[in-house]
Structure 1
């Protein structure tokens, strides 16, 4: 199953932003409702192209840490490009089998 998901998301990675629906609330405001604060360490499971990761980096600030996890290496490649050097750690893995 892992391989099928990975292949699917690798295939659709370039068009992902056109397939994602818009939230009723601004994304940053939505994330703040979870109590994420400066200095927190956050795991973004299914990070995709980094749309949520970008906001998480801004919220946790330079003393925080964001790990962007996704099953698709192509999604993470796009996330790295979109985030343009912003501080995040990336891991291409199956979220059901994380080592941490």
Structure 2
């Protein structure tokens, strides 16, 4: 993507290249997990589920940036990976609560 080298190295782990398949898989899992948490909140809190879920989703999205910042990769890779995290979060935060009403 835009000439960025997506090779990352985390302490104690071998070097790996982040490809399209893992990105799509993790985004899909995050979506399913978010949907499940929202469904659970709707059963437990009914009226405030969307607000609670939105706050929780934003906090999780911000926390998910910590490993990106801590990984050993080029600045371009870190920016691109962070942008992917925030893009998935933005779509889920914006659309998931409205889809369940």
Who wins on radius of gyration, i.e. which is larger? 2
Richer in helix (by share):
2
Richer in strand (by share):
1
Greater RCO, CA 8 A, separation 6+ = 2
Same topology, TM > 0.5: no
TM-score (norm 1): 0.33
TM-score (norm 2): 0.33
